[in-house]
Amino acid sequence: MGILCNQHTMTTGTNSNTNETTQQSAPPQDPPPQKPKAQDKQQQQPKQPELMVGDRCQVVWRDGTLKLAEIIERRERGKSKKRKLDNEQVKVEYYVHYVQFDRRLDEWKPLDQFKLETVDRSHRHVHSASAGLDSSMKPSTDSSAANTLEPTTSMRTTRSSNASSLAALEREHHEITKIKNIQSIVMGRWEVAAWYFSPFPQVYSCCDKLYVCEFCLKYMKYRRTLRLHGAECVLRTPPGKEIYRELDASDNSTIVSVFEVDGKQNPIYCQNLCLLAKLFLDHKTLYYDVDPFLFYIICQVDEEGAHIVGYFSKEKLSAEDYNLACILTFPQYQKSGYGKFIISLSYELSKREQKVGSPEKPLSDLGKISYRSYWTHILLNDVFGKHTNYKEPLTIADISKRTAIKTEDIISTLQSLGMIKFWKGQHVVHVQQNIVQRYLDQK
């Protein structure tokens, strides 16, 4: 099992290569000192930035339309050796959050993408002008953290019922994670834009792009390091036992495999997976202590090996009957039915254990949609659609036993379908065949 890459080796090896992508993302250096000119006093005055943190302004979005965005942070790019040579202008960029859109769309935009005539400065006072992270909140700057993966205290969860401390945690979470540190990852043949902050060790956070081995999930700063790693990495499947296999009907070759990886036996693989997953999950709880969890890795299989598509994690022992802690389909494989497959797998495992289960809350927005869709499908298709001739009236407990879905999830789904009533102190299922039929017809 490899450990995370050696930072010092990689940095030394690429410093002389100006073509390396990562060269552009080196930490900004101070501009060269310039002699003051008496006749140019006005230019010596610090120039007021056109936009400040907290301002709102119309910005050109990726499709060319305008969207209202709030300035979260400002940075200067181009303070590099190259600039010293040709006196290139410093490029100012602003990190923006599109008002009323999910944070996954937040991004850096150059000044020329802003419609400055629309600036609204009335929100500025609520923000700190520096808007930097408090040093106590920053992820560790010690490169040894790459091996220990010690979490920042603030990223740990506490199961507190105190609303104010939860609100404080939420504010802290927002402050720490407000700016994406990694902009994209290269994984196999895909380059994928990151959605959210993830607490990679600080030495990796200065890279816009990370290169990830899709088999052992080791992450690297440079493409050529990944290339070298590819020649050495012996893994072609996740480091666990295969628990499910789907064969191609035409030639019996494996097309989908699921592997069970024990967090205790493979901590580095599972920690790397958690860090990668956080890039696409806003509120994922980061379990650096992966020992109590099993990770189920869903893979597409071809002649190269088993390519990770997504995963879910599960506590080995859950007092709350959680059968899933965290679920993710990587963006490049979304909208292909994998979300539903992963959820159904979690319930099949619960059935095997003769238990009912429920996902850990809170669910992400995409998680909510996936679960609501799955529960609706199971109720309307499997419970009411195929077996309508029950000898006895079905109770919610019966449905729960049959499907391994916890009763509270069944009730909330039936409520959303208008198929439940509260009568004489208990919930009564009111199956409306027209709703069932309409659902079955849509499929």
Rule CB under 5 A: which residues touch Zn ion?
213, 215-216, 233
SS3 99: coil
Query: Rounded to an integer, what distance in angstroms lies between the CA atom of residue 62 and that of residue 127?
Result: 26
Task: Considering the complex, state which of residue 126 and residue 231 has its C-beta at the smaller distance from Zn ion.
Answer: 231
Task: Considering the complex, state which of residue 7 and residue 152 has its C-beta at the smaller distance from Zn ion.
Answer: 7
Q: Which residues contact 227 (CB under 8 A, 6 or more apart)?
A: none
Q: Which residues contact 325 (CB under 8 A, 6 or more apart)?
A: 285, 287, 293, 312, 313, 314, 315, 359, 360
Cβ 233 to Zn ion shortest distance, Å: 3
Query: Rounded to an integer, what distance in angstroms lies between the CA atom of residue 437 and that of residue 435?
Result: 5
Tokens representing residue 389 in the block: 């001739």
Task: Considering the complex, state which of residue 108 and residue 211 has its C-beta at the smaller distance from Zn ion.
Answer: 211
SS3 382: helix
Neighbours of 429 (CB within 10 A): 19
Q: Residue 42 region, left (φ>0) first, then alpha (ψ -120 to 50), else beta?
A: alpha
SS3 291: coil
Q: Is 280 in contact with 330 (CB distance < 8 Å)?
A: yes
Cβ 310 to Zn ion shortest distance, Å: 18
Task: Considering the complex, state which of residue 10 and residue 405 has its C-beta at the smaller distance from Zn ion.
Answer: 10
Among candidate residues 70, 73, 107, 360, the one labeled active-site is: 360
Cβ 212 to Zn ion shortest distance, Å: 9
Tokens representing residue 87 in the block: 């006196």
- Angle of helix 396-403 relative to helix 407-417, nearest 10 degrees, comes to 110
Cβ 27 to Zn ion shortest distance, Å: 28
Task: Considering the complex, state which of residue 110 and residue 230 has its C-beta at the smaller distance from Zn ion.
Answer: 230
Task: Considering the complex, state which of residue 214 and residue 282 has its C-beta at the smaller distance from Zn ion.
Answer: 214
The answer to whether 360 is a known catalytic residue is: yes
Q: Is 264 in contact with 242 (CB distance < 8 Å)?
A: no
Is 57 exposed, middle or buried, given 0-12, 13-18 or 19+ CB atoms closer than 10 A?
Answer: buried
Cβ 264 to Zn ion shortest distance, Å: 21
Cβ 196 to Zn ion shortest distance, Å: 24
Task: Considering the complex, state which of residue 3 and residue 319 has its C-beta at the smaller distance from Zn ion.
Answer: 3
Cβ 139 to Zn ion shortest distance, Å: 23
For residue 3, give the nearest of 148, 209, 207 by alpha carbon: 148
Cβ 186 to Zn ion shortest distance, Å: 13
235-250 CB burial, b ≥16 within 10 A, e <16: bebbbbebeeeeeeee
Query: Rounded to an integer, what distance in angstroms lies between the CA atom of residue 124 and that of residue 234?
Result: 53
For residue 106, give the nearest of 66, 150, 73 by alpha carbon: 73
Task: Considering the complex, state which of residue 26 and residue 233 has its C-beta at the smaller distance from Zn ion.
Answer: 233
Tell me which residues are annotated as active site: 360
